[in-house]
Amino acid sequence: MHERNNALNHNPEVTLSDEAHGADSALLYLSSLLQRSQHQRRFMQGPVEAPTPQALADLVARCNQIARYAVQLTEAEENRIAALASGILAARGVLELEEIDASRLPARQGRIRHWALTGGHLSELMTPPMKHLHGTLALDEHEQIKILSRRTWRGAWRVVTLWRDGVHGCAARDLMEYLARLAAEAQRRAPAAARELLERSRAIAATKEFSPTGPRARAD
């Protein structure tokens, strides 16, 4: 054994040749394992068959039907959003919507009254998509939903975008869900608001006897 070690030490070429042969054997072994694994994977998945012309035609027809149905659903959602926006505009007092100051809007948009539909006391009603909206959702006096974005350090909005499905990542189904929440909140608050008005009416009636019955006297 000692003589063999001495021979290896005195013959470095033999040692390097043995090591190279060992590395080649390891590479061949790993390559065979990889090929075997790929063969087993193809065997397990089975062959991929190309669809027949009839099957492909059926698939195209089905996809077209799905696309048409998606468009119809979006149109229905937009119609519902328009109806909800109309109701919310009428209920803006009940919901205590904050009116946006005209000075915080671009000059052209500042001529129209706008109310904020997100933020403030409405934060608890906001759905996750509304919380992730890059801007403020607003409703104008013409029942149009808009998104105010690019706010300056002074608090003014540089851009006012009329909402359409997908604008600023706001899908019709997400907006409809949120507006439905606002409408439900208005319905919940309506009785209390009506009672408050009734109390004010009674207070006015109670002071009637203290009012002069004739024309108000002029102080000369």
The DSSP result for 10-28, as a single string, is: H-HHHHHHHHHHHHHHHHH
Q: Does residue 79 form part of some domain?
A: yes
C-alpha neighbours within 13 Å on the C-beta side of residue 166: 3
Q: What is the mean pLDDT of the segment spanning 5-21?
A: 46
- Contact between 130 and 174 under an 8 Å Cβ cutoff? The reply is yes
Q: Does residue 214 form part of some domain?
A: no
Q: Please tell me the total number of residues recorded for the chain in this structure.
A: 220
Least Cα distance to 77 among 164, 168, 169, 185 occurs for 164
Question: SS3 for 99?
Answer: strand
Q: Residue 45 has what pLDDT?
A: 56
Q: Does residue 91 form part of some domain?
A: yes
Q: Does residue 21 form part of some domain?
A: no
Here the tokens at position 59 are 């698939």
Which amino acid is residue 162, in one-letter code?
L
Of 39-43, 147-151, 208-212, where does mean pLDDT reach its minimum?
39-43
Q: What is the mean pLDDT of the segment spanning 160-164?
A: 93
Q: Residue 31 has what pLDDT?
A: 63
- Contact between 131 and 116 under an 8 Å Cβ cutoff? The reply is no
pLDDT, tens digit, for every residue of 170-188? 999 999 999 999 999 999 9
The CA distance from 136 to 130, in Å, is 9
- Contact between 162 and 170 under an 8 Å Cβ cutoff? The reply is no
Of 15-19, 139-143, 158-162, where does mean pLDDT reach its minimum?
15-19
Mean of the per-residue pLDDT values for the chain?
Answer: 81
Of 82-86, 118-122, 212-216, where does mean pLDDT reach its minimum?
212-216
Q: Residue 176 has what pLDDT?
A: 96
Domain total in the chain: 1
pLDDT, tens digit, for every residue of 32-84? 656 666 656 555 555 667 778 888 888 888 899 999 999 999 999 999 999 99
Q: Residue 9 has what pLDDT?
A: 47
Order of all β-strands in the sheet with 114-116? 99-100, 114-116, 136-140, 145-151, 157-162
Q: How many CB atoms lie within 10 A of CB 153?
A: 5
Beta strands in the chain (DSSP E): 99-100, 114-116, 136-140, 145-151, 157-162
The CA distance from 37 to 40, in Å, is 5
pLDDT, tens digit, for every residue of 187-208? 999 999 888 888 888 888 888 7
Question: Is the full-model pTM beyond 0.75?
Answer: no
Q: Does residue 66 form part of some domain?
A: no
Q: Does residue 23 form part of some domain?
A: no
The CA distance from 178 to 130, in Å, is 8
Q: Residue 144 has what pLDDT?
A: 95
Quote the domain boundaries for residue 194: 73-202
Q: How confident is the model at residue 10 (pLDDT cuts 50, 70, 90)?
A: very low
Q: Does residue 110 form part of some domain?
A: yes
Least Cα distance to 110 among 73, 69, 157, 177 occurs for 157
Q: Does residue 53 form part of some domain?
A: no
